[in-house]
């Protein structure tokens, strides 16, 4: 325990060496914030191109300013490597690797397990390991703690272990990384204390909870809440379609109530790493305990059918003018999973594009953030959003509402527009061309 007390002193003095495993949308922003706070930081990444970018003072994440990376590199506060042997020299190791789903929709913690195994091989007394990748409740305590203790070291005595879920929202300009409170749950009170201590210089507010399981559940609750309410908004959109109502008008009017209502918006489907995946982690865990997570399963069913609903609506819109999807020239605007990012993880645009191609559509897309899109055996490249491309399309569908697109120009040049994001809500001209979700 003396070595852990020494670690606390090193953290207080900003001398603790911080390691961040995985330099993606979560890991790189975290590494930069640690370095800004005065800690020496090493990022560990299998992708040599990302390592090269950091070492050359370049950022590949929209939310991380290149000037920040350059400044941190210049003063030697931030570096990156593919050599995981250097984990032995880190006092604190943060695990920020992907936790996707398998093809059968089961949790895939293989990346996380591999990272923990890399740590176990180099684990020494006086280290703090913090898992941040989303997972099901019990992963840290039931799976990874025994793996680390197989080294012969004991948690709370020789090393510390905690779970602190990532809460990053890409492209969110209102809440920056450090402004979002950091939840922390350790395996022992000392583990929690050390994890809180290391995050306090980085985040404006740190929220300790009683255990790693509680911290794991916090993250799942947050995104399950969002997924279920988005599922409700999507189901209301389907209802309004049947009733001939404008769902956007209904939602905006309901949102004027100052209490008892929180606005969630429908869309063409869920995307990103968190909302489509996290509820499934919780549902999977509860199935193992013979407890059906009925709200989660119903919301998942509704949300996952939205891309197919979008394609059916495309057929209906074209049919109004006696056109068919087969052979129609369709231009998709935006394919990233959300506005103003390049992140394609779980983007509904991929399934929409696949269904349209299967139906024989001549499909193009424009996205200022995504240069290339893989759809099954097809590879599409973003086209210029020219007046000619807009006019030539039988239908322009807005899948992702990037700010860089001039939607007034889109509507004025296009023959027909299907707006799944309500991006055209403020337009006065050309409304007769627009169809909504």
User: Annotated catalytic sites, by residue?
Assistant: 274
d(CA 72, CA 76): 6
Nearest CA to 60 out of 50, 47, 52 is that of 50
- Other CB atoms closer than 10 Å to residue 350's CB: what's the count? 20
Nearest CA to 420 out of 233, 268, 249, 231 is that of 268
Tokens of 437: 């979700």
d(CA 427, CA 370): 26
- Other CB atoms closer than 10 Å to residue 407's CB: what's the count? 23
Nearest CA to 405 out of 315, 308, 318, 336 is that of 336
d(CA 41, CA 49): 19
d(CA 432, CA 401): 20
Q: HSE (CB half, 13 Å, CA atoms) of 262?
A: 6
d(CA 206, CA 220): 18
């Amino acid at each position: 325990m003396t070595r852990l007390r020494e670690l606390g002193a090193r953290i207080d003095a900003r001398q603790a060496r911080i390691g961040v495993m995985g330099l993606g949308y979560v890991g790189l922003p975290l590494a930069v914030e640690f370095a800004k706070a005065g800690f020496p930081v090493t990022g560990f990444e299998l992708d040599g191109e990302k390592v090269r970018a950091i070492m050359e003072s370049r950022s590949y994440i929209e939310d991380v300013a290149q000037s920040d990376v350059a400044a941190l590199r210049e003063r030697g506060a931030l570096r990156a490597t593919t050599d995981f042997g250097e984990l032995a020299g880190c006092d604190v190791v943060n695990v920020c690797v992907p936790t996707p789903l398998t093809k059968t929709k089961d949790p895939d913690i293989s990346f996380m397990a591999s990272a923990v195994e890399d740590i176990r091989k180099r684990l020494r007394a006086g280290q703090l390991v913090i898992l941040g990748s989303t997972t099901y409740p019990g992963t840290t305590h039931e799976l990874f703690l025994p793996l680390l203790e197989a080294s012969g070291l004991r948690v709370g005595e020789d090393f510390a272990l905690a779970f602190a879920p990532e809460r990053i929202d890409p492209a969110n300009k209102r809440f920056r990384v450090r402004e979002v409170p950091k939840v922390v749950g350790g395996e022992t009170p000392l583990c929690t204390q050390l994890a809180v201590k290391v995050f306090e210089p980085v985040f404006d507010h740190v929220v300790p909870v009683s255990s790693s399981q509680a911290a794991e559940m916090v993250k799942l609750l947050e995104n399950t809440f969002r997924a279920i309410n988005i599922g409700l908004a999507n189901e209301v959109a389907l209802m309004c379609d049947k009733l001939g109502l404008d769902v956007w008008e209904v939602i905006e009017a309901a949102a004027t109530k100052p209490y008892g209502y929180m606005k969630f918006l429908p869309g063409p489907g869920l995307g990103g790493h968190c909302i489509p995946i996290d509820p499934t982690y919780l549902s999977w865990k509860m199935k193992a305990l013979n407890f059906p997570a009925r709200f989660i399963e119903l919301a998942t069913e509704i949300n996952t059918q939205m891309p197919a609903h979008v394609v059916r609506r495309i057929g209906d819109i074209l049919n109004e003018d006696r056109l068919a999807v087969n052979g129609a020239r369709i231009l998709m605007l935006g394919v990233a999973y959300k506005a103003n990012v390049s992140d394609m993880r779980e983007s509904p645009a991929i399934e929409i594009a696949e269904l349209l191609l299967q139906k024989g559509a001549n499909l193009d897309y424009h996205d200022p953030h995504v240069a290339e899109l893989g759809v099954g055996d097809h590879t599409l490249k973003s086209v210029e959003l020219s007046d000619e491309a807009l006019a030539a399309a039988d239908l322009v569908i807005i899948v992702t509402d990037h700010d860089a697109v001039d939607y007034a120009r889109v509507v004025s040049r296009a023959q027909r527009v299907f707006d799944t994001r309500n991006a055209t809500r403020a337009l006065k001209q050309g409304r007769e061309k627009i169809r909504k979700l």
